[in-house]
Structure 1
């Protein structure tokens, strides 16, 4: 897994929604995940494969089904990478707030 793989996986709204479902509802079979989307199951499986290749989901076989679960570790790496940018924007927004506070009320 590399950062570009994770960012490419996260760029797609369907994949972000899959991660949200796995976060909120835990491990699920592909059919239960597919019920949330208006797409054919093979298309959804491609999205799950991209998430798996990026290390964002795990897959385990149970009988004839495959269960998918969230693997949040790569998201921590993304959050760590974004940290300095978040601090930059918080500082700028704070400075903007200070300027707005100094403006006379109308």
Structure 2
């Protein structure tokens, strides 16, 4: 079973993102991203929400489901509006309430 940080790390690797690029876009050091992706530091909810907002193909349910390996959602229509950070946080909270 993969943990959330492992799923995000693998997804990021598949996308060809570097920790330096992610860190620059998020506004932290590459070392911070490395600590999140390695699981040595807990991944902050704010970072997770930001990452999901910037990667709309991620499937929240698959991300939080311990049995799911693939976290990429089905292709969304091109006309769908950009997801807002609060909407992502609300979805995460709802999933956590349901799963815990």
Superposition TM-score, scaled by structure 2 size: 0.29
Query: Which has the higher Rg, Structure 1 or Structure 2?
Result: 1
Please state which structure has a larger fraction of its residues in helix. Answer: 1
Superposition TM-score, scaled by structure 1 size: 0.28
Please state which structure has a larger fraction of its residues in strand. Answer: 1
